């Protein structure tokens, strides 16, 4: 996992898997719109190239890359001000 991969304050890791890629499950106390805005700005500041994702009322996907690293974020609303997320990284 890149040391400069951004993470918002208050993010809690709830699980980690390593089949063929690193998968990190997390929870964050925020609304979906704020989470998407944070990740888009923070990833771009760290030099990640943002791909074309999609968003719906209850979830959003954010693909990104930098060099050979490929990643994607999936953010899902789980409460009024809580999101669950999944971060998948492949080298």
Does a structural domain hold residue 6? Answer: no
Q: Which two tokens stand for residue 64?
A: 């990104």
Does a structural domain hold residue 66? Answer: yes
pLDDT, position 21: 87
Select from 91, 50, 87 the least CA-distant residue to 70: 91
CATH number of the domain residue 82 falls in = 3.40.1000.10
Does a structural domain hold residue 80? Answer: yes
Does a structural domain hold residue 69? Answer: yes
pLDDT, position 61: 97
pLDDT, position 88: 95
Backbone CA torsion sign across 6, 1, 53, 25:
negative
E strand segments, 1-91 = 12-17, 22-28, 49-50, 54-55, 59-66, 69-79, 82-90
pLDDT, position 75: 97
Does a structural domain hold residue 64? Answer: yes
pLDDT, position 80: 86
Split the chain (91 residues) into runs of 10 and give each run's mean pLDDT: 87 91 94 95 96 92 96 94 95 82
* Cβ–Cβ under 8 Å, residues 71 and 63: yes
Domain holding 72, by residue range, is 12-90
Does a structural domain hold residue 71? Answer: yes
pLDDT, position 10: 94
Q: Distance between CA 25 and CA 49 in Å, rounded?
A: 22
Domain count along the chain = 1
Does a structural domain hold residue 55? Answer: yes
Does a structural domain hold residue 7? Answer: no
């Amino acid at each position: 996992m890149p040391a400069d991969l951004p993470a918002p304050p208050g993010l809690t890791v709830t699980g980690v898997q390593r089949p063929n890629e690193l998968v990190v499950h997390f929870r964050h106390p925020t609304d979906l719109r704020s989470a998407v805005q944070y990740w888009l700005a923070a990833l771009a500041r760290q030099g990640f190239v943002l791909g074309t994702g999609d968003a719906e009322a209850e979830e959003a996907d954010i693909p990104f890359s930098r060099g050979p690293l490929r990643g994607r974020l999936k953010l899902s609303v789980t409460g009024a001000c809580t999101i669950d997320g999944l971060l998948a990284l492949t080298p």
